[in-house]
Chains A and B, each alone.
Chain A
Amino acid sequence: MGIEFLIVNILLVILIVIASLVAVLLRDLLAAAIALAAMSLLLSLEFFLLQAPDVAIAQAGVGACLTTAIVIIAIKGTKRMEEE
């Protein structure tokens, strides 16, 4: 476990937290869903770096694609902008 591994891991965790905060704080729900998909993809990369490729494939398939599809379908059925 070298220093490069540590730097990349810390950078990835910070990016995951930033993407989650963007997903929480955005008023536009469609953009929030895209931010959630980006968070899920970064989490999948983190799983892959921690040598769990099974979990990484499952996270990339279910979390980044299918959950985003379900959320976007729900947004299409209701309203796009969040109200106060």
Chain B
Amino acid sequence: MTKIVKTTANILFPFTMIFGLYVIAHGHLTPGGGFQGGAIVASGCALLLVAYGSPWVFDHIKDKRLATFESLGAIGFITIGLLGLIFGAVFFGNFLAGSGSLFGTTPATGSTLADFNTGGVLPLMNFAVGVKVIAGLFVIILVMAYASSIKEWS
């Protein structure tokens, strides 16, 4: 694309990334969560794809690596659920809430100030789903754009 589009994408790309990662990291305090933040980060990557073209992005990021990250996110999510079955009572049990360790503080009832160290397994699940959604949505867009950019299939 032209220089104007590339400059605009260069300016907007870090802010989009920071906002998406903020939505993922504060998923248990503010509106949003893993899926929403992952969709925002994948939108920023799609902006990069529009500005620089799919062969350039395909040279720098391999789709197999993105697919590996997608599988790692799914494995982490299911592992946290199974840990709930082992340490807690039920599948997807929240075994870290109120334990006092990592993310274990219980907030006071009612409208309180937001404390980042709360939520039990919810921030970990947000992180796993965020990695999964970023890699999944971006690999779909990337592979489709690259397949439409080449003229003739092998």
Contact = CB atoms under 8 A, between A and B. Distances in A.
A69 B50 contact: yes
B21 interface: no
Interface residues of B, number: 20
Interface string B27-41: 000011101100110
Contacts of B118: none
Nearest to A58: B36
Contacts of A58: 35-36, 39
Interface string A31-73: 0000000000000000000000110011001100110011001
Interface in B33-53: 33, 35-36, 39-40, 42-43, 46, 49-50
A49 to B, nearest CB: 14
B31 A73 contact: no
A69 B36 contact: no
Given A69-B46, A70-B141, A62 B148 contact: no
A74 B140 CA distance: 13
A77 interface: yes
B148 A65 contact: no
B13 to A, nearest CB: 13
Contacts of B35: 58
A69 B48 CA distance: 12
B145 interface: yes
Interface in B114-154: 137, 140-141, 144-145, 147-148
Contact of B40 (A61, A76, A77): A61
B148 A54 contact: no
B23 interface: yes
Contacts of B144: 70, 73-74
A62 B50 CA distance: 16
Interface of A: 53-54, 57-58, 61-62, 65-66, 69-70, 73-74, 76-77
Given A69-B50, A73-B148, A74-B144, 6 more contacts: A53-B31, A57-B40, A66-B141, A70-B141, A73-B141, A73-B145
Identify the 9 closest CB pairs spanning chains A and B, nearest first: A61-B39, A53-B31, A77-B148, A65-B43, A57-B36, A69-B46, A58-B36, A61-B40, A62-B39
